[in-house]
A and B are shown apart, each in its own frame.
Chain A
Amino acid sequence: MKKKKGMTLSQRLAYFFKHYFLLLLLALGCSVLTVLMISYCAF
């Protein structure tokens, strides 16, 4: 993440979510699928 200097924590979080929200959601989806996959395979 660039432009870090002079940003408060809330601004940093806002910047992060603005730029990486979709990527985070994709990661969440993949992770949920993986956990479900493992639990369905295991039980």
Chain B
Amino acid sequence: MQDFLSNGFDVDIKALVTRIIFAVIGTLVFFLFFYYAKKRNLQLYTYIVVGAVVILFALSFLLSGKELSYYLCIVLISLTALGLMLFISDINRHIFRLSVKRKFFRENLADHYGSEDLRKSVSEIVKSCLRLSKTDTGALIVLADHMSDEILDSGIKINSEITAELIETLFFPKTPLHDGAVIVTANKVVSAGCYLPLTQAQNLPREFGTRHRAAIGVSAAFPDCTAIVVSEETGIISAMHDGKIKRYLDSRQLQDILDCAMGLADESAEERLWGENRQ
């Protein structure tokens, strides 16, 4: 077998130099491409290019009928490991998104908790949001069937029944927990003062502060959750779900959104609210 790497010097020094020059130019081109893809949040193109190179390489080997040398195995393994290291957070997110988007993975909350309890929780949240909005108090409430332990542990465990008074107290300014998110699962306030992942999206309205960015970030990372934000500056109530935003909500719209989040509304209502492009 003519192994290019081990016998390269014996074969042809000129060809070797040409290949090295091509490899350096290729590295620059690939790097520039990956760099701008990362800068502009277009990492999907990076996956496609790396995948295409590896697949084409494997195909060219199979078709040329040559054996894969030891050195090339190392290059391939390191390339795979590097790709995994670089994009592990994206891969995690995509796997998570796939799993939670399948309906059969999602439990119906109304089956586990009485729908009466859930309706009461919804009305308490609506009541508290309207009061917080009137007093221009900032608030961030995340409704999720399951939330990662990392986020829950970043706050203080509460595990209490939902009441409007409790939510208002948690967001009362100058109290220790008012600056984080309140996580609600079914009819319980699970945790308060939690830190959420912020979105890096550039195309958001200027009036969106950290609280809105956190809400969009968490709704994009955990597509089964819904985040409700009350703006501290304007008192406007917004809702985020699966990276989508609804603003200027009144009590009726907020109730519909919360009904969907609690599993009290049917799927068609959910599609009407958030659009039909759900996978």
Contacts and interface: CB of A to CB of B under 8 A. Distances in A.
Interface in B32-55: 33-35, 38, 49-50, 53-54
A20 interface: yes
A40 B60 contact: yes
B113 interface: no
Contact of A33 (B15, B54, B83): B54
B203 interface: no
Contacts of A28: 23, 27, 30
Contacts of B54: 33
Given A32-B75, A36-B4, A23 B34 contact: yes
Interface in B62-90: 64, 66, 72, 75-76, 78-79, 82-83, 85-86
A39 B132 CA distance: 68
Given A33-B53, A35-B23, A40-B66, A26 B82 contact: yes
Interface of B: 4, 15, 19, 22-31, 33-35, 38, 49-50, 53-54, 56-57, 60-61, 64, 66, 72, 75-76, 78-79, 82-83, 85-86
14 contacts: A23-B86, A27-B29, A27-B33, A28-B27, A30-B50, A31-B27, A31-B29, A33-B75, A33-B79, A34-B53, A35-B22, A37-B57, A39-B15, A40-B66
Interface of A: 20, 22-41
